[in-house]
Amino acid sequence: MPQDPGNSLNPVKTIGAQVGEIIQLHQKVTRAERDEQVLALLTKVGLSHPEQRMTQYPHQLSGGMKQRVLIAIAIALRPDVIVADEPTSALDVTVQKRILDLLDILRRESGTAVLFVTHDLALAAQRADRLLVFRDGEVQEQGNTADIVRTPQHAYTRQLLSDLQGQRLTIAQVAGRPLASPAIRARAISKQFSLGKGHQLQALDRVTF
């Protein structure tokens, strides 16, 4: 799984064709059997309207949806290990959690190991059973995640953890004066998008704020 899902899918091929390609390369299946497997994979990784997604192109999907497609490709052949190279760094925070939760679920269901390559020590500490700390291509420390986080042995690891623990969120201070009147109000906004073949996506349903 590469870092940027936006650059990892072919812009001129449909989602169904790209997921199906890995199946076609490694299995002797009919087109109908391949499409059935693709639909099952897109459903498994939690894509909404998977039938429609098969006929869509990458530019029609959000970043999180593209990453789910890459996960579908990664698990298509039931590998023993998936190498996830900064799999969420190009995604916003809420989507990151959903993708990582999905990987956890799939890992438990299939028994596939996931190797995270990441600079995000918080992600590694929360998601990994074991950690390997690298610097300049050399292993500085390795072992059980809990042991390394609680009692790091190498100076470089201690520095990384110290930097992480030193992070603080700065919360904007609101002065005692009342806030100005809202610059804009929205009432009962609805919006639909066509997904083709008579299917509609209800993006907004009488939203007011």
Most confident of 75-79, 92-96, 119-123, 178-182: 75-79
- For 11, what's the count of Cα atoms within 13 Å in the CB-facing half-sphere? 3
- For 25, what's the count of Cα atoms within 13 Å in the CB-facing half-sphere? 9
- Structural domains in the chain plus CATH codes: 5-166+184-207 (3.40.50.300)
Which is it for the CA torsion 58, 59, 61, 63, positive or negative?
Answer: positive
Compare 20 and 169 and report the one with higher pLDDT. Answer: 20
CA distance 29 to 189: 46
| Spatial contact of 133 and 148, defined as CB atoms under 8 Å apart | yes
**What is the reported pTM?**
0.70
CA distance 60 to 47: 13
pLDDT tens per residue across span 180-193: 576 678 888 898 88
pLDDT tens per residue across span 17-42: 999 999 999 999 999 999 999 999 99
In DSSP terms, which residues pair with 18 in a beta bridge?
Answer: none
Q: Which DSSP letter does residue 139 get? A: E
Q: Is 44 helix (H, G, I), strand (E, B) or coil?
A: helix
